[in-house]
Amino acid sequence: MRRRFSPGRVLGWTVLTVVVVGSVFPFWWMVRTAITPAADMYTDSSALLPDNPTLVNFARVLGLTSEAEARAAGGSGAHVDFARYLVNSVVYCALIAGFQTLFCAMAGYAFARLRFPGRDLVFGILISALMVPPIFTLLPNFVFVKELGLINTMAGMVAPSLLMTPFAVFFLRQFFLSLPRDVEEAAILDGNGPWGVFWRIALPMSRGPLITIGLTTIVWAWKDYLWPLLVGRAEENRLVTVALGVFLQQSPNTQPDWTGLMAASTLSVVPVLVLLVFMGRRLVQSLNFTGSK
């Protein structure tokens, strides 16, 4: 009993509770605003639950109501082509996560196992790129994509992030260093070269870290806003995050459509939330650097 109610344990649980509540509460307030009627937005602003919850905000954001019905519900009449933007966002995230994870794995394995002149120097230069703020590369990337004629195309949107990131290369290199060399040497004796060892031995043993990099890349790409706003403003390539900004701009200047915006934001969070719920356990297990299932 003394150990159970020790001051350190109580303090730890208190801090953990505060952090969890502080992390979850903004999401809950977003959902709470999304199910609140526009007329009750300010009259019922202090309650944790609205007195008259409704799903009409989701319906009008998705364009399932007429403009007259949307305005009667307190909206501006604007809606989001959520299905198209969702597909664009999924394609955008899948391309970046898939190619970036593959190329980072190849680079990480090369830095961990292959010996070539200047390896450590090149790796040091690559890691030093972590200190460069992404905003510094925004303009050069934009000029490069523009010169290639890829503005308002999916290829131009994914081009700067398609190859690798310094952190992912470092993360996977550290894992490859922990792999037992005996297994790789046995594969070499069986006639496999570096490429065969990488594909047949290293990658299957690295599923956990690869899933970790893939999930973190998907989450990062899903919430990316500035670059898709600059390069993918066309309707056919617009992402969900950019669409939320367009939806807000369609609202009257005197009164933003907060309930509709929160409904659209909730819908944009659902796909990533579902992904993390189903893959979260694998993500936690992979952080142990065991390389097992």
Report the run of H or E that residue 239 belongs to, with start and end: none
Where residue 145 falls among pLDDT bands split at 50, 70, 90?
Answer: very high
Q: Backbone phi, then psi, for 30, in 5-degree steps?
A: -65, -45
Higher local confidence (pLDDT), 64 or 157: 157
Distance CA 189, CA 227 (A): 48
CB atoms within 10 A of CB 217: 21
Distance CA 258, CA 164 (A): 37
What pLDDT was estimated at residue 276?
81
What pLDDT was estimated at residue 105?
94
What pLDDT was estimated at residue 278?
80
What pLDDT was estimated at residue 291?
42
**Cβ contacts of residue 232 below 8 Å, gap of 6+?**
88, 152, 153, 154, 156, 157, 238, 239, 242
Q: Are 257 and 75 in contact (CB under 8 A)?
A: yes
78-87, 109-118, 160-169, 184-193: range with lowest mean pLDDT: 78-87
Range picked from 93-102, 158-167, 174-183, 254-263 for highest mean pLDDT: 93-102
What pLDDT was estimated at residue 221?
93
Mean pLDDT (the chain) is: 84
Residue 202 is classified by DSSP as I
What pLDDT was estimated at residue 292?
41
As a whole number of Å, the end-to-end CA separation of the chain is 37
pLDDT at 126 over 50: yes
pTM (predicted TM-score): 0.83
30-34, 59-63, 150-154, 184-188: range with lowest mean pLDDT: 59-63
Distance CA 163, CA 97 (A): 10
38-42, 159-163, 201-205: range with lowest mean pLDDT: 38-42
Residue type, 19: V
pLDDT tens digits, 69-125: 777 766 666 667 888 888 999 999 999 999 999 999 999 999 999 888 999 999 999
pLDDT at 290 over 50: no
Q: Which fold has domain 82-231?
A: MetI-like fold (1.10.3720)
- C-alpha to C-alpha distances, 254 to 34, 130, 250, 259, nearest whole angstrom: 20, 42, 12, 15
pLDDT at 173 over 60: yes
74-83, 178-187, 216-225: range with lowest mean pLDDT: 74-83
**Cα of 37 vs its chain's centroid, Å:** 30
| Mean pLDDT for the stretch of residues 14-30 | 91
Distance CA 131, CA 236 (A): 35
List, by residue range, all CATH 1.10.3720.10 domains of the chain: 82-231
Where residue 44 falls among pLDDT bands split at 50, 70, 90?
Answer: low
3-7, 108-112, 220-224: range with lowest mean pLDDT: 3-7
Where residue 251 falls among pLDDT bands split at 50, 70, 90?
Answer: low
What pLDDT was estimated at residue 250?
72
What pLDDT was estimated at residue 233?
81
Per residue, the 3-state secondary structure of 158-204, as one string, reads HHHHCCCCHHHHHHHHHHHHHCCHHHHHHHHHCCCCHHHHHHHHHCH
Which residue in this structure is represented by tokens 């120097």? 121
What pLDDT was estimated at residue 254?
58
Distance CA 200, CA 195 (A): 9
